[in-house]
Amino acid sequence: MSETILTLDRVTKTFGHGTSAVHAARAISFSLQAGRALALVGESGSGKTTCARMAMREYQPTSGQILYKGRPVEGAKSDEIARYRRSVQMIFQDPFASLNPAHTIAHHLRRPLKLHRPEIKGTDIDSTVRELLQRVRLDPDLVAPKYPHELSGGQRQRVSIARALAAKPEVIVADEPTSMLDVSVRLGVLNLLNEMKQEMNLGLLYITHDIATARYVAEDIAVMYAGQIVEWGSVAGVIDNPQHPYTRLLLSAVPDPDVRFEDPKARLRPEEVENIRRRSAAPQDEIVELEPDHFMRMV
Ligand SMILES: Nc1ncnc2c1ncn2[C@@H]1O[C@H](COP(=O)(O)OP(=O)(O)OP(=O)(O)O)[C@@H](O)[C@H]1O
């Protein structure tokens, strides 16, 4: 059994109050383990980013708790929180927006090294920058002196991955890491994340609206709708044998992710789609166990 690094334990996040309250995450529980990836899948607005931001400690959960190696993060000492911040790194959707146009790639990689790994000093800093670029299959001589606008989208996302790795993390949260990239380079970035997971024994939270891509990086999958996890299990189990109507709905839009559910090509009538959404959005407290690694919520 791999080591559990991060756990969300019945975590809830509500924005606003009263009738205008948005229940962005409702009793979400999952764990991230060393050397394994969990794909969190769902349409826009299902609550994936809210979960990512809670895992990053950018949002405070309304209720429930986050555990780091079995210990609650809330109320932890400042050195433990610093360790957590170093251990959990994020890769964003838009690699351009997350890189500063005024600084070289080398600068972007030196900063997290100085911040998180002060033991690396002098010329070792630049040799570590080179190693990081090589790890993400970029040529250090060509890429280190460049500015973000001089690189392609795929190269920029590789730099973002290298920057996350600079902190020597145990967990990487990747929020739609390929959705702004050219289709031709998406698979390369997913394969790279998969390799990093295996080689560096990283826990990976892979967030995507495109359920088909989960296969390339993840062992486990959780399908979200309206702030709830409606089905979860092994990637193969859930994708090949979906039990929940909403998972089937998501899969009906595959392999063409641009086909909307309402589209006739998705072969579902609009009232059927509406019915599935309505039932999936209702609070789902009962859990049905299907097989040891495959669960779904009652609808
Ligand atoms: N800061 C906020 N204030 C108020 N409501 C929010 C906030 N952040 C998210 N929400 C709402 O919470 C719900 C879940 O949003 P979230 O961004 O987590 O979904 P998502 O699945 O990540 O979607 P996307 O892929 O579009 O980012 C949405 O209804 C959203 O409008």
* Nearest CA, atom 4, ligand 1: 15
Residues with CB under 6 A from ligand 1: 15, 22, 24, 42, 44-50, 209
- Span 88-141, pLDDT tens digits: 999 998 877 889 999 999 999 999 999 999 999 999 999 999 999 999 999 999
Domain residues of the chain, as ranges? 4-102+168-297
What topology does CATH give the domain 4-102+168-297?
A: Rossmann fold (3.40.50)
The neighbouring-strand residues paired with 7 are 31, 67
Q: Which of 11, 12, 13, 22 is the pocket-test mutation for ligand 1 (most atoms within 8 Å of CB)?
A: 22
pLDDT value of position 292 = 62
In whole angstroms, give the CA distance from residue 225 to residue 280. Answer: 7
Q: Do residues 73 and 57 lie in contact, with contact meaning Cβ atoms separated by under 8 Å?
A: yes
Pairwise CA distance, residues 116 & 193, whole Å: 21
- List phi, psi (to 5°) of 142: -80, -40
pLDDT tens-digit series, residues 18-68: 889 999 999 999 999 999 999 999 999 999 999 999 999 999 999 999 999
Q: What is the pTM of this model?
A: 0.90
> What is the ipTM score, two decimals?
0.94
43 has which bridge partners?
A: none
CA distance 99 to 278: 40
State the sign of the Cα–Cα–Cα–Cα dihedral 167, 168, 171, 172: positive
Nearest to 112 by CA among 125, 130, 95, 123: 125
